[in-house]
Amino acid sequence: MRKASIAEIYMSDSALGDRYSNLIEQIIQMTLKGNIRSKEQVYQMLVQEIEPDSGEIFEVKFRDRYMQTETQANDKSDELKQAKAMRAMRALKTLDGEWSRWQSENRNRSAIATAVRRLNQADKSDRLLIFLNLSDPNHPDSLNADQLKQVALTSRQQPISDPETQQELAQLSEGILRGFQSWNILQPHLVSWIYDPNQLGFEGSPKGINPWEVWAKQPIGENLKSFFEVLDRNDPVRFWAQDQPDLSVADWVELSIVVQTLQRGLVSWAENQSYSSKAGRSLCVSLFLTFALIWSELANGFAQSSSLNSIHRSRFSEASFRVTLQILRVFAQRDYFPLYGTIYTPFTGGHFREAMNYLSEPLKQTEGTQEKARILTLIGAAQRVFGAFDIAKEIHELAKEIAQEAGDRKCEIANLNHLSRISISQKQYAEAISTSQRALILSRQSGDRMGEANALANLGYAEVFQAQLLESDPDAYELAIGYLEQGLALSEKLKDLQSQALCALSLGSAYVTLNDVDQALKYLEQASYAAADAGDRYLHALCLANFGEAFYQEKDYSKVVFASAIAMYKLEQMGTTDWRAPAGLLTILRGQLGEQFDQIMQEQRSRLTTEIGVDGFDYLTELLDRYRQS
């Protein structure tokens, strides 16, 4: 086909320009004569006359006429011409409004047409990912619900010669429409299950009702119903994904739309809770991480499925992981993204560890962005809790470098603080002190008060253990305790509960080392309350472990057993190696007390089962045996 010459293009544009000038003049004259009955009449004239991809030409002609008329309307030398111009201005303002409407509708039509064309032309293996790109909330031009429905309806009407492509697009369209139909059913029940904001059903607690149970009872499809039932039982959703032999593209798309829309609705609800912004923000953190981990578990499950065919296995796994990344990228842009603290999640132990391991490698390959640095910070912190110190260190170093390049100083300081905590965990106290000092300097230079509080906590904590390692005099602890007290005061001023918990826990541990039980218990109690209020189960469990140490010094063995047993169980369920410290204390106590130890365990049975359940109590013996054997 011959390409149009520059001269031909110019002539075409010139002809359109004349045509649009005449259209504008026609609308003005019809308005002046009273022949325009409504704004809709003006809009329909634009729809009929404006050619595709020629809006800029109309825009130029309209602005020229507008400025000319505005000048005449401001000219008071000829009252008759001024009056006529003012009437023409009213006509142009009406036209301006309908022109804006036409542009909006045209952009909408263009976006839908582009989306349909991309889906039609895509390779089969890429089609789900393209669908997710079209609706990705991280993209400024992502399609909304109405646009996605229109894409589905338009795709059905497209003449397609290839039967396989036609069938695939029909599946995609069906999934989109079913997804929003199911969402309409579930929407009235989005938050109906919420009664107590402190028991919101996302912590795997047996107390109260949770959303999965409520949503599973609604008249939705069997796949969705079984998915919510698995979550209600707190079973790993990767097993659900592995056991779906007949899951179609339509089923996966429906699941994607429903689960993502539920998550976004819950986050929006939580972010707008005026009665308690703290509870709302805490819930938002839990929601983002819970749903991100659900999708990572699904990706893992689909990848390991032996019942799906190889094409669906690969596509569903890759698409599910893409949803995980999308959720985490949105989360990383929130001001409440947790650069410190530990993870909120309904998945515990091996399931959670496996999901986070699955996330860590692919994220290293994505483009270096501020969001990536923050996501890696979160994953590195989780790996440290699990005892994977080398992996955690590698992740935090990478996150620190990316944060530096992106100019995200708070994230850079956070990763220095996390690296300091890793050094403490590895008993490399000199390195921990050096890293926390660097974080302290940077945080004070940049005014990052939360970073400063955490740096003081790490510095004091490392100084305490350094003094203990060197068997220093009690006077050597004064400097370390001073840092911790500064950090505690600052975190209290900032109302940063996690930093309060960390500083108070470090002070309690320091005073345990100094055999000052009264002071230790005072700070450990403060740490315990702060950790509980922050929803940080990991720090709360560490508090219990330190309570056990303090009670041991007091020779209050019943309290030692109670606190240490709960700490051991909860830490092991989180997947962290820190469970070994309370297990070691209980093993020592068992050796000292003999049969009396078993008697104390039985005396504490009812209290322990209240906290960890009957199965948890029975598991304590297995944990102690495992510790002794290792």
| Digit-coded pLDDT (tens) for 222-253 | 999 999 999 888 788 888 999 988 899 999 99
Residues in contact with 437: Cβ distance below 8 Å, sequence separation at least 6, in sequence order: 455, 459
**Which of 248, 230, 229, 249 lies closest to 239, judged by CA?**
230
Confidence of residue 355 (pLDDT cuts 50, 70, 90): very low
- Higher-confidence residue of 52 and 353: namely 52
- For residue range 280-295, list pLDDT tens digits in order: 777 788 788 888 888 9
Confidence of residue 279 (pLDDT cuts 50, 70, 90): low
pLDDT at 329: 83
CB 586 within 8 A of CB 601: no
For domain 427-532, give its CATH number from 1.10.540.10, 2.40.10.340, 1.25.40.10, 3.30.70.270.
Answer: 1.25.40.10
User: What is d(CA 567, CA 531) in angstroms, rounded to the nearest whole number?
Assistant: 14
Q: Does residue 2 carry a pLDDT above 60?
A: no
Confidence of residue 85 (pLDDT cuts 50, 70, 90): confident
Q: Does residue 156 carry a pLDDT above 70?
A: yes
Lowest-pLDDT range of 112-126, 259-273, 363-377, 565-579: 363-377
Q: Does residue 361 carry a pLDDT above 80?
A: no
User: What is d(CA 237, CA 352) in angstroms, rounded to the nearest whole number?
Assistant: 11
pLDDT at 451: 93
In terms of C-beta density within 10 A (0-12 exposed, 13-18 middle, 19 or more buried), how is residue 610 classed?
Answer: exposed
Q: Does residue 122 carry a pLDDT above 90?
A: no
Lowest-pLDDT range of 5-9, 142-146, 150-154: 5-9
C-alpha torsion 320→324→326→327, nearest 10: 130
Confidence of residue 391 (pLDDT cuts 50, 70, 90): confident
Query: Which amino acid makes up residue 554?
Result: E
Region 124-146: mean pLDDT is 86
Confidence of residue 335 (pLDDT cuts 50, 70, 90): confident
Lowest-pLDDT range of 192-201, 264-273, 471-480: 192-201
- For residue range 540-578, list pLDDT tens digits in order: 899 999 999 999 999 999 999 999 999 999 888 877 788
- Identify the residue whose tokens are 């290839």: 162
pLDDT at 207: 41
pLDDT at 404: 92
User: What is d(CA 465, CA 621) in angstroms, rounded to the nearest whole number?
Assistant: 31
In this structure, the number of other CB atoms found within 10 A of the CB of residue 53 comes to 9
**Which of 580, 569, 511 lies closest to 540, judged by CA?**
569
Region 137-149: mean pLDDT is 86
User: What is d(CA 433, CA 421) in angstroms, rounded to the nearest whole number?
Assistant: 10
pLDDT at 1: 39
pLDDT at 353: 52
Q: Does residue 473 carry a pLDDT above 60?
A: yes
User: What is d(CA 524, CA 520) in angstroms, rounded to the nearest whole number?
Assistant: 6
- For residue range 177-214, list pLDDT tens digits in order: 999 999 999 999 998 776 544 444 454 444 445 789 89
Give percent above pLDDT 70 in the chain.
89
Question: How is residue 135 annotated by DSSP?
Answer: T
pLDDT at 121: 80
The SS3 of residue 530 is: helix
Lowest-pLDDT range of 43-57, 364-378, 498-512: 364-378
pLDDT at 362: 53
Count of residues in the chain: 630
pLDDT at 3: 46
User: What is d(CA 531, CA 549) in angstroms, rounded to the nearest whole number?
Assistant: 18
Each domain of the chain, given as residue ranges in start order, spans 6-121, 122-337, 427-532, 555-630
pLDDT at 553: 93
User: What is d(CA 432, CA 461) in angstroms, rounded to the nearest whole number?
Assistant: 9
